[in-house]
Chains A and B, each alone.
Chain A
Amino acid sequence: MISKYGEGASSDATLVDRLLRRDVSAFEELYDRHSRIVYALVVRILEQAPTAEEVVQDVFLQLWRNAARYQSARGPFVPWLLTLARNRALDNLRLKSERQRRREDQTDELPAIAQAPEYEKALDEKRRAERVRSLIGTLSASQKKAIEMAYFEGLSHSEIAIALQEPLGTVKSWIRNGLLRLKEGLQTAS
């Protein structure tokens, strides 16, 4: 089998299944594949390398200890891992800022697993990453700013509206329309 990681390489789902048998080499392989994007995401949110490393360590230890909770039949692994990483980073940010946050998932629970849409199957991870970076440049500056504030800072519609001194309805439109445009762009690329 030729996987995106080279001929004969195991898929992420196969490696996660091996974690259930406490296969350390499978864990190391998963870490080598995905630690860069996880770390990049976490350090973007926390803006401090030492704290980011602690959170990344926590994320991968959660993966090691809770591999059974990830069910490969339900959805792709990397989006699940990135959601876990974002949640943990925002938890850390919440503790530091002592502000109340809302998130889709509870603080101590693992994130839900998202079923992959059709365009996920047509674009591999690398091409999808390139496509997302390219598409974000096609959004208006306001849409991009609002989405980044929501995603990387965990801010709500109201908080973004106050920070940008814009009407609440405007901010809601920026975020919704920006995300829909990203979705259309990914579907078109596939």
Chain B
Amino acid sequence: MDPERIVAFERRITDGIVSEQDQFRELIEAYALGALDPGERVALEAHLAAGCSECAKALEEARFLVSQLAYLAPPAEPSDMLKARLMQKVRAEAAVGRPATAKTRGALIPYWLWAGVAALLLLSIYSTWDARKLQQEVQEVNARAAAERNKREQLEQELTLAKHEAWILTDPTTKKIDILPNDKEMPRLEAMWHPELGIYITGQRMPMPKEHKVLQLWLIPKSGGKPMPSHVFWPDANGKITEMVDDPPEVMAQTKALAITEEPAGGSLQPTSTPLWVGGVS
């Protein structure tokens, strides 16, 4: 995807639209409640990770507010047995940490020498333990930092994808294409084709392709040439399809129809079966 096209498109849509900041601010209370759907949650978390102080402050207040909903629960009393079991565990764990009672001192060696030896031994053990602990902590911090970087990159990618999908769905230049099944028992698919951002395909209750097979999108050119291969995809565990084709091999104006076939895993250069779904573009 050409970054300049995206920037130019962004500039065109910012006029007259509610600011992105306002949109994120409106999600804060639902986020604190845990009620956001995945797309909005990912987008908001990326926004918070970018360091929006206004939203961070609002989130602190919202978290507190949500915690107060606990008082809506009807009154109830735990059993005495619960407290008894709990206190037994806690006392047992507390007792493990208590120091041992003093033992009899050695008869021939002075007490002060024993104390000195014990102190040196403890210092030596502590230094070794401390060094190992520090090394382990450094490793853990590095691992956490790497994990956080990966997570942030993934969130940024998901946010970019979510943005593109939102733009495609709302832009007036987007064309809606119904992709109809040959078998009437099968569900319909829908494609939203934006001339600059690509094709966004959705479907529900889709059956899984046969073993070692995938679904593949084809663009049928108006010129009468061979079908042009595009993305391969498959439904998720819930039978849902949301596929973003940001690099279709042909422009919309030159495309007669979209078709979907079942192909071997990895896709094919030419269709190896008859289309299961077809949608006219023009």
Contacts and interface: CB of A to CB of B under 8 A. Distances in A.
A123 B16 CA distance: 42
Interface in A38-85: 39-41, 43-44, 49, 52-53, 56-57, 60-61, 64-65, 75-76, 78-80, 82-83, 85
Interface string B56-75: 00001111111111111111
Chain B interface SS verdict (over half): helix
A133 B89 CA distance: 35
A60 B35 contact: no
B77 A39 contact: yes
Contact of A37 (B32, B37, B70, B79): B70
12 contacts: A40-B70, A44-B74, A64-B93, A65-B93, A80-B67, A83-B63, A120-B64, A128-B68, A155-B35, A176-B26, A179-B62, A183-B61
Nearest to A90: B34
Interface stretch (B80-88, B107-115, B172-180, B256-264): B80-88
Given A41-B73, A128-B71, A129-B71, A156 B35 contact: yes
Contacts of B26: 176
Interface of A: 22, 24, 27-28, 31, 35-37, 39-41, 43-44, 49, 52-53, 56-57, 60-61, 64-65, 75-76, 78-80, 82-83, 85-86, 90, 101-104, 111-112, 114-117, 120, 128-129, 132-133, 136, 147-148, 150-152, 154-158, 160, 172, 175-176, 179-180, 182-183, 186
B147 to A, nearest CB: 12
A60 to B, nearest CB: 6
Nearest to B78: A39
B91 A24 contact: yes
Given A31-B83, A75-B64, A151 B91 contact: no
B97 A57 contact: no
Contacts of B83: 31, 35
B36 interface: yes
Contacts of B116: none
Given A116-B64, A150-B34, A22 B97 contact: yes
Nearest to B42: A102
Nearest first, the 10 closest Cβ-Cβ pairs linking A and B are A79-B67, A114-B63, A44-B73, A129-B71, A114-B64, A39-B78, A150-B35, A40-B76, A82-B70, A40-B73
B106 interface: no
Contacts of B85: 57
A46 to B, nearest CB: 11
Given A39-B76, A60-B86, A175 B34 contact: no
